[in-house]
Amino acid sequence: MSIFDERLSVELPRLQTLFDGIYGDDRAARAELAALVDDLRRSWAERSPELRRLDDAHEADPVWFSSNQMLGGVCYVDLYAGTLEGVRARIPYFRELGLTYLHLMPLFLAPAENSDGGYAVSSYRDIDPALGTMPGFEALAAELRENGISLVVDFVFNHTSNEHLWAKRALARDPLYEDFYLIFQGRDMPDRYEATVREIFPDDHPGSFVPLPDGRWVWATFHSFQWDLNYENPAVFRAMANELLFLANRGVNILRMDAVAFIWKKLGTTSENLPEAHLLLQAFNAVCRIGAPSLLFKSEAIVHPDEVAVYIRPDECQLSYNPLQMALIWNSLATREVNLLAQALEERHALPAHTAWVNYVRSHDDIGWTFSDDDARVFGIDGFEHRRFLNAFYVDRYPGSFARGVPFQDNPRTGDCRISGTTASLAGLEAGDPGAVNRIVLAHSIILSTGGIPLIYLGDEVGQLNDYASLELPGHAGDSRWVGRPAYPAARYLERTDATTEAGALYARFRQLIETRKRTTEFAGGHLVAFHTHNPHVLGYQRGAVLVLANFSEHPEALDAERFGALPTSRVDLVTNLLVDLSPGLTLGPHEFVWLGPSPAFAPSSAPAL
Ligand code: GLC
């Protein structure tokens, strides 16, 4: 039996069961599945020997992504490097930084102006001609792979742009393609759906539907030019499975599954996080296990933490953004208290085997305060009021705030609001706050040490600031997230090797932390044990034998000796290599953190080189 047939025989029954769960006993669905098996066979025949070798290697080591060597970076091709060729030219820098994972923001054909930064895809098989070509993309993927860097791109599978061929045909009333979207005559069904769904981009349009020129209504969760696909139609699943396999064969290693929460709609519900959304993801996962076994999924579920967790399993999404940790890092920087972050690490950090978090300080999107109100109530915090405080704090409407963020989708009707901005501007660099550099480093020290893949928004390591001018560009007005997506900060990058500059000082500390992470095997995997510091400003956790302590206030904070109880008191700070004696207790300076190995034997001077 060929390896393909072996994999097919294992996974097809699962795919069949998932199809039954999604579509019931439906003849059309059965026909699509049979056709999909043929598609898979064709796609496998075209898969390169090199990618097949990678499939074997990753099947044999399904937790390769949990290594402490992993470090992610994310950037827009045009903003960071101009073109795909420009990205290739930056590979030496990616190696200097230590990247092993590169997320290139959407780079496919998209409407000229209204593209939501590429999240309105007009063809999954064509690269935006301004950025390069598909052969160029394939060559870049291969070159990254040779340099030990996995390529991550978005799979924007909840919707297409209104310029996608399928959308154009639907608009022209081709019945085959009308059924690819959720299109209704009149307001009856849209009204009934909208009675229970939340508004996602209220600045763009109220509700979930937008009118078509001929008076019909189409479901558009995000912008009016992003039309949601109708996964109730099994032909849509098969069509998108083929797009997925196409990308996998070009050399993509990880797909960032965009907007997973929204892919299944049901009348009378919020149409978010429905059981069928999970079945669909599992079905796509099964498709990969057969046709592109090394391909991984990263879930983009920026929702309640209970719901985020459900997407993360080896047979669904092996990786997931950690939006809770992200939001709570910013919460702790604003409140100077670690209660919610410590609770999240203790209660919500553990994941199933063979999965991992992607930990990040910020993304290209807004910061949403996705913590659980029940969790907050444990500390007497009212979720609604607290979000109001955080929003005011981060848009500098709170006395003494160091942050320079911009509101996103401010909805006075619901009180909902999110925050846009770069890490540096949000952390105080733009405002000239003296604690800014320390805050930026502290925030990154958390994502580098809690377990999972740390993901840096490239440019943040040299302190890039908000770009207000980009709001003036065509297609950007009304979407404040562009403030946080500045172009490659060339001057700052030039200064990065000069530690007397702001960028250089910051970069040196990033490098030091990254190098320390990479030689500290305790930072592999995701296992974390909470360490209660009994100081409201100091976060603590153990990663194996390494004790992490982090002071979120701008004042010195003391931990008394009894906190360390029976723990070994002779320590070394793995970042600075300095010996630390915990027997008299420990005082951390403003925003100071330490990664404490148990004994001098941990010091790199006496440890074998890794
Ligand atoms: C995701 C993207 C965001 C985009 C949306 C619609 O949330 O991160 O940038 O606007 O999906 O595709």
Per-residue CA distances from 410 to 333, 372, 388, 472, 480 (Å): 22, 20, 11, 19, 10
429 lies in the same domain as 548:
no
Closest atom of ligand 1 to CA, residue 363:
8
Which of 119, 201, 219, when mutated, tests ligand 1's pocket best, judged by the most ligand atoms within 8 Å of its CB? 119
Q: What is the pLDDT of residues 48-102, one digit of tens each?
A: 999 999 999 999 999 999 999 999 999 999 999 999 999 999 999 999 999 999 9
The Cα–Cα gap between 576 and 557 comes to 19
Q: What is the pLDDT of residue 603?
A: 44
Q: Is 249 inside a domain boundary?
A: no
414 lies in the same domain as 469:
yes
326 lies in the same domain as 357:
yes
449 lies in the same domain as 557:
no
Q: Is 350 inside a domain boundary?
A: yes
Closest atom of ligand 1 to CA, residue 302:
7
CA–centroid distance, 607 to ligand 1, in Å, is 45
589 lies in the same domain as 446:
no
513 lies in the same domain as 539:
no
What is the residue range of 395's domain?
A: 322-521
Q: What is the pLDDT of residues 267-313, one digit of tens each?
A: 999 999 999 999 999 999 999 999 999 999 999 999 999 999 999 99
Looking at ligand 1, which residue's alpha carbon is closest to its atom 7? 259
Q: Is 513 inside a domain boundary?
A: yes
Looking at ligand 1, which residue's alpha carbon is closest to its atom 4? 119
Q: What is the pLDDT of residue 429?
A: 98
Pocket lining for ligand 1, CB < 6 angstroms: 116-117, 119, 156, 222, 258-259, 300, 365
The Cα–Cα gap between 196 and 269 comes to 6
Which of 199, 222, 255, when mutated, tests ligand 1's pocket best, judged by the most ligand atoms within 8 Å of its CB? 222
- CA nearest to 368, candidates 454, 304, 447: 304
**Are 352 and 383 in contact, with CB atoms under 8 Å apart?**
no
517 lies in the same domain as 552:
no
Q: Using CB atoms within 10 A of its CB, is residue 138 exposed (0-12), middle (13-18) or buried (19+)?
A: middle
150 sits in which H/E element: strand 150-155
CA–centroid distance, 128 to ligand 1, in Å, is 18
Domain count, the chain: 2
Q: Is 199 a catalytic residue?
A: no
The Cα–Cα gap between 311 and 304 comes to 12
Q: Is 450 inside a domain boundary?
A: yes
496 lies in the same domain as 541:
no
Q: Is 594 inside a domain boundary?
A: yes
pLDDT band at 601 (very low <50, low <70, confident <90, very high): low
Q: What is the pLDDT of residues 129-183, one digit of tens each?
A: 999 999 999 999 999 999 999 999 999 999 999 999 999 999 999 999 999 999 9
327 lies in the same domain as 349:
yes
DSSP category for residue 350: -
Q: Is 53 inside a domain boundary?
A: no
DSSP category for residue 253: -
Which of 79, 224, 257, 258, when mutated, tests ligand 1's pocket best, judged by the most ligand atoms within 8 Å of its CB? 258
Per-residue CA distances from 169 to 155, 222, 225, 388 (Å): 22, 21, 15, 44
Q: What is the CATH number of the domain that holds 432?
A: 3.20.20.80
Last residue of a domain, one of 505, 521, 537: 521
Q: What is the pLDDT of residue 610?
A: 40
Looking at ligand 1, which residue's alpha carbon is closest to its atom 9? 365
Q: What is the CATH number of the domain that holds 556?
A: 2.60.40.1180
366 lies in the same domain as 426:
yes
Closest atom of ligand 1 to CA, residue 159:
12
Q: What is the pLDDT of residue 114?
A: 83
Which is catalytic among the residues 78, 228, 276, 300?
300
CA–centroid distance, 364 to ligand 1, in Å, is 9
Q: Is 280 inside a domain boundary?
A: no
Which is catalytic among the residues 128, 243, 258, 467?
258
Q: Is 203 a catalytic residue?
A: no
Specify the pTM.
0.96
The Cα–Cα gap between 218 and 195 comes to 16
Last residue of a domain, one of 521, 545, 576: 521
Q: What is the pLDDT of residue 600?
A: 62
Q: What is the pLDDT of residue 606?
A: 41
CA–centroid distance, 324 to ligand 1, in Å, is 17
CA–centroid distance, 22 to ligand 1, in Å, is 25
pLDDT band at 607 (very low <50, low <70, confident <90, very high): very low
405 lies in the same domain as 490:
yes
Q: What is the pLDDT of residue 605?
A: 44
**Which of helix, strand or coil describes residue 112?**
coil
Q: What is the pLDDT of residues 494-505, one digit of tens each?
A: 999 999 999 999
Least confident of 289-298, 375-384, 595-604: 595-604
Q: What is the pLDDT of residues 111-128, one digit of tens each?
A: 998 899 999 999 999 999
Q: Is 308 inside a domain boundary?
A: no
Q: How many angstroms from the chain centroid is the CA of residue 449? A: 17
Last residue of a domain, one of 487, 521, 555: 521
577 lies in the same domain as 540:
yes
CA–centroid distance, 119 to ligand 1, in Å, is 6
Least confident of 37-51, 320-334, 406-420, 514-528: 406-420
Phi, psi of 149 (to 5 degrees): -115, 120
